[in-house]
Amino acid sequence: MRKLIPIVGLFFLICCLSACKDKTLKLNHPKNIRGVISFKRSFGDLNDLHLSAAQAIGIRPISSREDAEKLKGDLVLIESNEYYIVDSLTHSLPYLVPKAGDLLSSIGSNFLDSLESKGLNPNQVVVTSVLRTQDDVKKLRKRNGNASEKSAHFYGTTFDVSWKRFKKVEDDRPMQDVNRDTLKLVLSEVLRDLRKAETCYVKYELKQGCFHITAR
């Protein structure tokens, strides 16, 4: 009997460790993730749609960053927070009209909620471009052929969210990296639902690695 006690204890310990491991793995075991049939087909809103919506609810286009300072009363500052991360902006300014600012917060919040409901660790979306001046677009067109002279980014209604990069949120849960493709699928579901609710237009940008989004 004395020899059996250590063996039984060892067996019990192995079972406990195995259960803990299974529990940890389940945290990032994808469930109920369907994504969309096709990114291009599901998010194919062309520039004319974005531009029309932007002109309806946005500010007038501004030529320089100095002019943007005069319009701060009509815009809200976009800063990194609990819902999203603002990237280092080289060709845009971190300002949106209030309606677009609310849309961005909804995307970030819905994305976090969706990850939690699917048993995935939290990640934040990364904003890569926001309000552009005409000077910004001139400079950007020299390196990015997708930057339109008739850009919806002129109006403070439009922003880009990366589907290549996400910011992992550190918390007290066992942390495992979530596959980028999985995060992209979850984000696509969030954007699909908001688009169906007619709150925004969305264009899938393959070369730029982002979703181009305009508030409606």
> Whole-angstrom distance between the N-terminal and C-terminal Cα of the chain?
75
Q: How far apart are CA 30 and CA 162, in angstroms?
A: 21
Taking the mean position of all CA atoms in its chain, how far away is CA 25?
A: 25
Residue 154 CA to residue 62 CA, distance in Å, equals 7
Q: Which CATH number fits domain 31-215: 1.10.10, 3.30.1380, 3.40.50, 2.60.40?
A: 3.30.1380
Q: How many C-beta neighbours within 10 Å does residue 94 have?
A: 18
Residue 1: predicted pLDDT: 47
Q: Please give the distance of CA 99 from its chain centroid, rounded to a whole number.
A: 17
> What 8-state DSSP symbol labels residue 91?
S
Domain boundary assignment for the chain: 31-215
pLDDT in tens, 73-126: 899 999 999 999 999 998 899 999 999 999 999 999 999 999 999 888 899 999
Tell me the average pLDDT of the chain: 84
